[in-house]
């Protein structure tokens, strides 16, 4: 039988020394004894940051949750502090980037926004699809802990937090009749982005698999907030007053700058020149959701 015991040394002295030494150096700086120079930055990044993170990982392997949390948290703090200070961001001092730094930071912000959009709105992960016959996908793929046994869910976290915030187990339930589930739509049936000047139609089949209600909400693509359309609503649901149903119990929803004649109660106004996306939610989902027997057709471009 192989001996799988962890025989590595105690990482706590490394973590505590990194924490203590860098804290003393920071206090000396705050007291005015030293400028925030290369020596303090190097100690902060390598001793305060990297060394504490390594100690935290080693404590995690030993099953010490408290030490893992403390060392990694302080390590990330020091790593961030050192990196920010290296580009001139310091507490109590005005940030005055050079023209070169400004160009780099603006390009980085633009690239970060583009990466967030690509991960959220143009995902190539087919495993997040609700069914193969439509493009509705689950936008909430990150777990509440944002972590798996062997890795952190970086892309899943970026996917969700770019367009929303907050997550709880009830928002991605695995239990029939409890909690809620979210579906996201970002393009129409022809894979074109939703544009506020176009008209669209969505057919909600009868017998939606929920015990409480369903809700459809339109969001602005740029702000990721509910659409501002100067009307009394940004969404429609099974509880909407005056909602028209077809004879079989299905519902047709409409989106565009103007309502189709006679469909005002089933319509959400959109703004020309603005792009949008949508969430469809089921509250207290039933078996037909879990076994995927209930279809959810794509949103189609109308006349």
pLDDT band for 190, please (50, 70, 90 cuts): very high
pLDDT band for 234, please (50, 70, 90 cuts): very high
What single DSSP character describes residue 192? P
Q: Quick check: 4 pLDDT over 60?
A: no
Q: Quick check: 172 pLDDT over 90?
A: no
d(CA 255, CA 271): 10
For 8-25, the pLDDT digits (tens) are 778 878 777 777 777 777
For 19-60, the pLDDT digits (tens) are 777 777 777 767 777 666 666 667 777 777 778 888 888 888
Beta pairing, strands 251-256 & 267-269: parallel
Of 134, 256, 132, nearest in space to 194 by CA: 256
Taking residues 175-192, what's their average pLDDT? Answer: 95
- Alpha helix segments (H runs only) across the chain: 12-30, 38-42, 52-61, 65-86, 99-121, 154-163, 287-290
pLDDT: which is higher, 301 or 91: 301
Q: Quick check: 247 pLDDT over 90?
A: yes
Fold of 128-301: Jelly Rolls (2.60.120)
Confidence at residue 261, expressed as pLDDT on a 0 to 100 scale: 94
d(CA 167, CA 285): 18
Confidence at residue 82, expressed as pLDDT on a 0 to 100 scale: 66
DSSP assignment string, 119-167: HHHS---GGGBS-TTS--B-S--S-TT-B-SSSB-HHHHHHHHHH----
For 61-111, the pLDDT digits (tens) are 887 888 888 888 878 777 776 667 767 777 778 888 889 889 988 999 999
Of 235, 240, 230, 238, nearest in space to 276 by CA: 235
pLDDT: which is higher, 213 or 127: 213
Confidence at residue 130, expressed as pLDDT on a 0 to 100 scale: 96
Structure tokens, 206: 């009868």
The residues spanned by each domain of the chain are 12-86, 128-301
Q: Quick check: 2 pLDDT over 70?
A: no
What mean pLDDT value characterizes the chain?
87
């Amino acid at each position: 039988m192989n001996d799988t015991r962890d025989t590595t040394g105690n990482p706590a002295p490394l973590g505590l020394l990194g924490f203590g030494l860098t804290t003393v150096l920071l206090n000396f700086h705050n007291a005015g004894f030293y400028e925030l120079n290369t020596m303090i930055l190097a100690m902060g990044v390598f001793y305060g940051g990297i060394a504490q993170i390594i100690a935290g990982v080693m404590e995690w392997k030993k099953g010490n949750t408290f030490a893992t949390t403390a060392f990694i948290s302080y390590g990330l703090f020091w790593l961030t502090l050192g990196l920010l200070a290296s580009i001139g961001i310091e507490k109590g001092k005005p940030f005055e980037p050079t023209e070169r730094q400004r160009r780099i930071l603006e390009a980085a912000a633009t690239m970060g926004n583009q990466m967030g959009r690509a991960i959220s709105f143009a995902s190539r992960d087919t495993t997040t699809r609700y069914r193969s016959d439509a493009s509705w996908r689950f936008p909430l793929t990150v777990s509440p802990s944002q972590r798996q046994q062997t890795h952190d869910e970086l892309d899943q976290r970026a996917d969700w937090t770019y367009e929303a915030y907050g997550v709880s187990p009830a928002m991605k339930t695995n239990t029939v009749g409890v909690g809620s589930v979210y579906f996201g739509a970002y393009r129409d049936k022809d894979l074109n982005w939703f544009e506020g000047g176009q008209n669209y139609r969505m057919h909600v089949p009868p017998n939606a698999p929920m015990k409480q209600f369903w809700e459809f909400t339109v969001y602005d693509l740029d702000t990721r907030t509910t659409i501002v359309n100067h009307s009394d609503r940004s969404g429609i649901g099974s509880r909407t007053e005056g909602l028209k149903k077809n004879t079989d119990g299905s519902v047709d929803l409409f989106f565009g700058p103007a309502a189709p004649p006679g469909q005002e109660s089933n319509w959400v106004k959109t703004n020309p020149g603005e792009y949008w996306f949508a969430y469809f939610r089921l509250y207290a989902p039933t078996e037909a959701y879990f076994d995927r027997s209930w279809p959810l057709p794509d949103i189609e471009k109308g006349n």
